[in-house]
Amino acid sequence: MNAPPESGPGTVRGAQRAQATRRALVQLAADLFAEQGYVQTSIRDVARRGKLTTGAIYGNFRNKADLLVEAINMRVAEELEAQATRYIDQDYIKTLTKLAGEYPKRRRMRALLVQGASAAQTDEETRNGLREEQLSHINTWIKGYERDRDLLGIDPNVDIQAAVLYTWAVELGLGVLEGMGIEPKSKKGWADIHNRMARSLQLPPDGGPTRPARKAQRKRI
Q: Is residue 128 part of a domain?
A: yes
In a domain, 138, yes or no: yes
The pLDDT score that the predictor gives to residue 217 is: 45
**Number of domains the chain contains:** 1
Report the C-alpha gap between 169 and 164 in whole angstroms: 8
- Of residues 207 and 135, more confidence is placed in 135
> What is the residue range of 153's domain?
63-207
Evaluate the CA torsion angle 125, 130, 135, 136 in order and state its sign.
positive
- Residue 176 near residue 114 (C-beta atoms within 8 A): yes
Inside any domain, residue 150: yes
| 139 has a pLDDT exceeding 90 | yes
Q: Is 57 a domain residue?
A: no
Mean pLDDT of the chain, nearest integer? 87
Name which of 172, 186, 152 is nearest 109 in CA terms: 172
Question: What proportion of the chain, given as a percentage, has pLDDT over 90?
Answer: 63
Predicted pLDDT of residue 219:
46
Whether this prediction's pTM lies above 0.85 is answered by no
Q: What is the pLDDT of residues 160-187, one digit of tens each?
A: 999 999 999 999 999 999 999 999 999 9
Q: How much is the average pLDDT of 60-80? A: 92
Residues 6+ apart with CB under 8 A from 206: none
**Range 199-216 average pLDDT:** 73
φ/ψ (deg, to 5) at 121: -65, -30
Question: Does residue 54 sit within a domain?
Answer: no
Domain membership of residue 11 (yes or no) is: no
**pLDDT band at residue 12 under the 50/70/90 scheme:** low
